[in-house]
Amino acid sequence: MPELPEVETIARAMQLGERGYVSLPGHTVVGAKLLWERTLAEPSPRTFKKRIINQTIQKIDRRGKFIQTHLSKDVLLIHLRMSGDIRIEDRHKNGRSLPLEKHDRLVLYLDDDLRLVFNDTRKFGRAWLLDDPAKVTAKLGPEPLDERLTTEDFHQRLQKHRRQIKPLLMDQHFLAGMGNIYTDEALHLAKLHPLSPSDQISSEQAANLLKAIRSVLQNGIRLNGASIDWIYRDGSFQDMCKVYQHTGEPCQTCGTPIQRILVGQRGTHFCPMCQAIKSLI
């Protein structure tokens, strides 16, 4: 599943016209086609098509793992889930209409002969057209890169829960945008075992953890995300991973073989020496 850096990379590309995308602000929706009705969570397909046509794209940004396309009146939210991807492309080439692809689920036709296509092989992705995106995003936790999230606030939030630290960090109600890859990498950088009880993490450890989270996320954004476990294109953060999918390989810090366990039904990679559970004592 794409995580914060991958979603941020796509949103920025749509906003700024980077990585082969066309900058979308200023373009108007002139038509819509829904190829898999369950892709649309809200409203009904008929209402969606009626409302979105003739709305102009104002801005594209991100909240957690949601891509937010701000329109004249509404906001289009897209969650890519396991296998979603977005293409911006010309509708015609050499005078011929370009066919859609097998797993295309939602198409927005734009002026200047462009189209925005939501492709989703596994059909888990969802889209919402809302007058207020908070109807979906209000329950999300704070953004980990938001400077308003201080180390003191972060430590207090940890103390309010008695949960294993990895599942807590991946809980979108606790912290928005974290997923398997960047959580493993952040915990390794912070030298915390993924099973550490959150309420036993000291203020110093919490400060180190928040710093580590921000470091791996910023590196992920700088490298256009990671091309692991998903069809996401062109990311290279996977080349920087220290523990994720390095089972049995020597830790780059101490040489101890990296271990893999299941935590909350998710494959979890860590160094049993650098991240020893006794580090909490």
Would residue 89 show up in a list of annotated catalytic residues for this protein?
A: no
- Could you tell me the CA-to-CA distances from 90 to 21, 86, 93, 96 in Å, in that order? 11, 13, 7, 11
Would residue 115 show up in a list of annotated catalytic residues for this protein?
A: no
Around Cβ 250, how many Cβ atoms within 10 Å? 12
Q: Write down the catalytic residue from 12, 62, 65, 115.
A: 65
3-state percent helix, strand, coil for the chain, nearest multiple of 5: 30, 25, 45
Query: Among candidates 1, 3, 25, which has minimal Cα distance to 13?
Result: 25
Return all residues near 179 (Cβ < 8 A) that are at least 6 apart: 1, 2, 3, 4, 65, 170
Would residue 65 show up in a list of annotated catalytic residues for this protein?
A: yes
As a whole number of angstroms, the distance between CA 128 and CA 177 comes to 18
Around Cβ 160, how many Cβ atoms within 10 Å? 10
Return phi, psi of residue 120, to 5°: -150, 100
Would residue 157 show up in a list of annotated catalytic residues for this protein?
A: no
Positions marked active-site: 2-3, 65, 266
